[in-house]
Amino acid sequence: MIQTEEKVRLQKIIARAGISSRRKAEDLIQSGQVTVNGAVVTTLGTKVDPAHDHIKVSGKHLPAPAPDTFLILNKPAGVVSTLQDPEGRPTIKHMLPKPSLRLFPVGRLDFDSEGLLLLTNNGEVAQACLHPSHHVLKTYLIKIKGILQDSEILQLKRGLPLEDGPTAPAKVRKAGKAEANSWVEITIHEGRKHQVKRMLEYLGHPVIRLKRIQFGPLNLGSLPLGKSRFLTDKEANSLRQLLVPGKPTARRVSPRRIKPARWAESKRSPRDQRKTRN
């Protein structure tokens, strides 16, 4: 088959169709679940002409590419960051405006964490957001046990020797304190499992609450807990810039500050709010 400029990598076309992320599309190809013009294709990087070649995934014709859709959700704690859960726990699916949309989360938030979660049907953008080479920054507002000392902040800024390797330097600022606990704001670009929690536990400050308030150029702002909204054209285009070679990475912009005390009180009853906070 002669290669032409119109031809595109197979995994890229599958991702564009909204079936999966590009990484998952590669798994589908390698496992023999993709055919082109009736022939099974297992070689990554194979290029096809989406206008003329007939592509099937798991025996079904590839649907026409759906329009790009981007959504952010303010995920509550106690909810799984997926559309289905084999353990039967509550998921984010019922919080989406149109359950029929084939959206998938970009990365995850822990079951007991809350805050900004991005969902999209654009597998290429999703992969770019998570790829370490793009250094997409993520900012968390965290309530910890104890008071973070200046020397510990310096350690976070320099990097910590965790069991899976040293962490990259983090941005840290104190965001408030109470009688026995305190609030900090931490920005990182890595995406290791439970990373922020492990960083603070290493310093002897277990995390009590964790909320993501920023993801690259996206700001949680005043989006209510459990609610979602579609991105503006400007926000969506800022994510697409990740796919343009030589363009600046979608980095953090100054977020609207969330006062920890107000955040904590918003989820408590009036009776509880009259009690002294720890």
- Pick the closest to residue 66 from 150, 2, 146, 123 (CA basis): 123
Instruction: Say if residues 203 and 148 touch (Cβ distance below 8 Å).
Output: yes
DSSP state of 121: S
Active site residues: 110
Instruction: Say if residues 36 and 55 touch (Cβ distance below 8 Å).
Output: yes
| Beta bridge pairs of residue 75 | 115
Give the long-range contacts of residues 94-100, CB within 8 A, separation 24 or more: 95/226, 95/227, 95/228, 96/71, 96/228, 97/71, 97/228, 97/230
Q: How far apart are CA 182 and CA 205, in angstroms?
A: 10
